[in-house]
Amino acid sequence: MKPAQPLDPRLTEQRNPRSMRIDQLSTAEIVDLINAEDRMVAAAVGEERQQIAHAIDLVVECLRNGGRLIYVGAGTSGRLGVLDASEMPPTYRIDPDMVQGVIAGGLEALVRAQEGAEDHPQDGADAMDERGIGPNDFVLGIAASGTTPYVHGALKRARALGARTGFLLCTYPSERLMQSHDVVIAPLVGPEVITGSTRMKAGTATKIVLNTISTAAMVKTGKVYGNLMVDLQVTCQKLQDRGERILMETLGIERWEAQRLLDESGGHVKTAIAMNKLGLDARGAKEELDLAGGSIADVVGDLRKE
């Protein structure tokens, strides 16, 4: 007898043969099973390295032209997009509009599921209109199953408005999907431990991909020096301490001097570094950084220790 064909061809909706008896396992065995499945995620993302790199280059081009990175999703996918976008301003001192997360159902959907919000493509299109999407923007649709109507509606409108578009999913992409977008990223993590629960492996893969795209884009637009987040804005005690330590390490100064520089620079580490190395006040240092497109290495050279 031939094996039965899956009722749904989407990889995210198929049953995982390794977890079909999960309800009979001990607690420790459940933990081991989920951990074993999670180990597959990084490798699956790695298989998409070229597509991820292409997406990064598209994002960087748009940001350098004054455009934005817009994530669009529903449910877990939408929440992960909003999470990644919300972490960019404090980490890299960017305008909150530069990287945005759009979720079906609006902000309320972040904390309480909005059933049915994902089913309306026109709502996704309207969200693009509301944000004035244009040719300098890159819109990345996120949908583990690849079929979310809200996301497809948003991307269709974004393309019509001249934006570059990408799609992130965790099932086999159709030929039509491949032809419709500038880049398609499809880490195939396999069926979930709990069938269809894409907040698990698919969600983890999505988080990894978004981390990689946004982090690499910030590196390539001058927000990082070596592996230090020198463009952070001191807004809390934790970031004050981190900023001081960055200055102490890169400039070889004592903490008291790092505190003084941070205070005079308005809490901006990159400006503080330029002030110290160029002997300028905050205004002059910022002007030099602006002329260099924000690249601290181009302004002060390589201060890193061998």
Query: Active-site residues: which are they?
Result: 87, 118
d(CA 111, CA 113): 7
For residue 232, CA distances in Å to 72, 238, 253, 293, 301 come to 26, 11, 19, 16, 19
d(CA 284, CA 228): 23
d(CA 186, CA 31): 26
Q: Any residues with CB less than 8 A from the CB of 117 and at least 6 apart, and which?
A: 74, 104, 105, 106, 109, 123, 150
The tokens 């520089």 sit on which residue? Answer: 261
C-alpha closest to that of 103 among 77, 71, 78: 78
C-alpha closest to that of 184 among 198, 202, 200, 165: 165
| Both structure tokens of 203 | 């969600």
In the chain, beta strands by DSSP E: 69-73, 99-103, 138-142, 164-168, 183-185
| Both structure tokens of 266 | 């308005």
| 186 close to 173: Cβ distance less than 8 angstroms | yes
* Residue 284 DSSP label: H
What are the residues facing 100 on neighbouring strands?
70
| Strand, helix or coil for residue 196 | coil
